Structure 1
Amino acid sequence: MDLLQQLITVFAENGYVAVFIALMICGAGLPLPEDITLVAGGVIAGLGYANVHVMFALTMFGVLLGDAAIFLLGHHYGPRMLKWRLVARVLTPERYARVQEKFDRYGNRMLFFARFLPGMRTTVYITAGTTHRVSFWRFLLIDTLAALISVPFWVYLGYIGANNHEWLVKWMHRGQTSLWVVLGILLVALLVLWWRHRCRARCNLP
């Protein structure tokens, strides 16, 4: 967790601006984990260097802006973007082909679940842009819905565990699994609500 401690130090000294810049780096696909960055933002709020609710709003904006930038670059430049040196390191032709295949199988669901798959986000978002499989506004809607689950999870986890390093480290290790559990519960709840609505609609039929 050396990286986490380094980020906490930098964020505590430089505030919201440093958190925002770090999220832009994450969005560009550079080797800075978004999850750890969000947790570090929550930690400095828990330590009193920032307001946690403002931190949540800032990180949501930063995450969505970074994702949108990647998508729009892919949408504008198309497959030519794959020849850029930085992009080529993240998205090889073989990986690009695999992501396209998954889009064929799962459609827009790929965009939603990519948010919960570290290492896949940038490749999926670039591919969505370059292939023109989805409009920008649909992409932004799907990405926002996914981010509304993951971003507050990591930020508030950091906030709650700011003064208990051992507990925080333990739950960060469990975090990805816990996030999938939260996502599963939400999906089940939505299915139950949809089923109840459908049943009521049938009962009201003449």
Structure 2
Amino acid sequence: MDLLERLVTIFGENGYAAVFLALMLCGAGAPLPEDITLVAGGIITGLGYGSVHIMVGVAMVGVLLGDSTMFLLGRHYGARILRWRFVARLLTPARYARVQEKFERYGNRLMFFARFLPGMRTAVYITAGATHRVTFLRFFILDGFAALISVPIWVYLGYFGANNHEWLVTWIKRGQTSLWIALAVIVVVIGVIWWRKKRKSCC
């Protein structure tokens, strides 16, 4: 939790701009966990350094801009981007081939689920852009929908746990599992709504 404490200190001193910049770096593949960064952003609002609702908005913009930058760089430079030093560390030719294989298996859904797979996001977004598998608009919608689930959960978790360190640590450890549960619930709800509408239209 040392990283979390350091981020809280930095964000508390520099506010929304520091959170935004950190999330942009997360999107670029920096070794900085996005979930911990979002929680730290929430914590400082819980401590009185800003509004949690504004922080959610700032975090959404930072996350989506960082992701979109990686997608558009891949789209513009294609496979040549694999020769870039910082990209080569994240996306080796072998990993690039594996991500392409996952696209073949799961289709564009992979871009949605990548947000819930730490360490996969940047590789998936660069590959999606480089291989021209999807338009930017579809990418943005899928990524945006996934971010609408994950970003508020992490930020509000930090906000509500700002003054209860033990509770916060427990839920950070459970966080990824909780995200998958929330995602499963949303998928089930959407499926039920779709099924009911289809049933009504058939009758």
- CA deviations 1:88-120 (Å, max 9, x no partner) are 000011100000000011110000000000000
2:151 alignment partner in structure 1: 151
1:13 alignment partner in structure 2: 13
Q: Give the letter for the 2:140 counterpart.
A: L
Number of aligned residue pairs: give it: 203
Name the SS of the counterpart of 2:116 in structure 1. coil
| 1:162 counterpart = 2:162 | yes
Q: Give the letter for the 1:11 counterpart.
A: F
Gaps of 5+ in 1: none
2-structure distance, mates of 1:9, 1:144 = 29
Name the SS of the counterpart of 1:76 in structure 2. helix
1-structure distance, mates of 2:46, 2:170 = 17
Q: Give the letter for the 1:53 counterpart.
A: H
- CA deviations 1:134-166 (Å, max 9, x no partner) are 011110011000000000010001011010001
Deviation at 1:24?
1.0
2-structure distance, mates of 1:138, 1:111 = 10
Name the SS of the counterpart of 1:115 in structure 2. helix
Deviation at 1:57?
0.3
1:121 alignment partner in structure 2: 121
Deviation at 1:71?
0.3
1:109 alignment partner in structure 2: 109
Q: Give the letter for the 2:44 counterpart.
A: I
1:71 alignment partner in structure 2: 71
Deviation at 1:50?
1.0
Task: Map 1:26-105; keep pairs closer than 5 Å.
Answer: 26-105=26-105
- CA deviations 1:161-195 (Å, max 9, x no partner) are 01000100000000000100000000000000001
TM-score, length of structure 1 as denominator length: 0.98
TM-score, length of structure 2 as denominator length: 0.99
Two-structure CA RMSD over aligned residues (Å): 0.5
2-structure distance, mates of 1:152, 1:187 = 18
1:182 alignment partner in structure 2: 182
Deviation at 1:202?
1.0
Name the SS of the counterpart of 2:58 in structure 1. helix
1-structure distance, mates of 2:163, 2:179 = 22
4+ residue stretches of structure 1 with deviation over 2 A? none
Q: Give the letter for the 2:14 counterpart.
A: N
2-structure distance, mates of 1:7, 1:50 = 15
1:138 alignment partner in structure 2: 138
1:22 alignment partner in structure 2: 22
Q: Give the letter for the 1:180 counterpart.
A: W
Q: Give the letter for the 1:165 counterpart.
A: H
